[in-house]
Amino acid sequence: MTIKTIAFICAMSLAAAGHATAPAGAPAEANGLCKDGSYSTSATKKGACKGHKGVKNWWGTAESKPEKKSAKSSKTEAAAEPTAKPASTPSEATPAAATKPAATTVAKAAPGGGNGKVWVNTESKVYHCQGDRWYGTTKQGEYMTEADATSKGYRADAGKACK
């Protein structure tokens, strides 16, 4: 291999790693995953996961910031990022998934629940609907009706109420 070939392969690998895509279980309108496991539908990354320990992964569109007109701005326009494409194979997963080994066990749900009850994560103040991957599996929480959860100030995961 030549040095040019090696440099090209490295550049392509870095370019592919820079574009995160939505994980398979994410809601269609979600733009990011918060560190507490909830999804964000915010239009911008800034403040998207406020109160959720920050942004873990972001696959939404880049924030548009006003640029100063200068010689540098023409260079940045020429080097604009291409839009992210959805992953077609598991090997094209997000960089975070590529660096961490896949979990072999799924957290077992706490006993109880069902019958229209939601799981309230008492630490993050977010409730999860039945069928959600976090339903009954967070470290701290309890089951209650959705009406009780909202009356006590808890909010729905990703802003979506249960059906």
Sketch the domain layout of the chain as residue ranges. 3-99, 117-159
Q: Per-residue pLDDT for 19 more than 70? A: no
pLDDT attached to residue 120: 94
**Would you state the structure tokens that stand for residue 32, as one six-digit string?**
């990011």
pLDDT attached to residue 20: 61
What's the average model confidence in pLDDT over 103-112? 70
Alpha-carbon span 138 to 123, nearest angstrom: 9
Listed residue (13, 32, 39, 35) closest to 91, CA to CA: 13
Q: Are the C-beta atoms of 29 and 41 separated by less than 8 Å?
A: yes
100 or 52, greater pLDDT: 52
pLDDT band, residue 65 (cuts 50/70/90): very low
90 or 58, greater pLDDT: 58
pLDDT attached to residue 32: 85
Q: Per-residue pLDDT for 9 more than 50? A: yes
Q: Per-residue pLDDT for 80 more than 80? A: no
Amino acid at 135: Y
Q: What distances in angstroms separate CA 40 from CA 18, 60, 146, one per listed residue? A: 20, 10, 20
pLDDT band, residue 30 (cuts 50/70/90): confident
93 or 154, greater pLDDT: 154
28-37, 63-72, 101-110: which has the highest mean pLDDT?
28-37
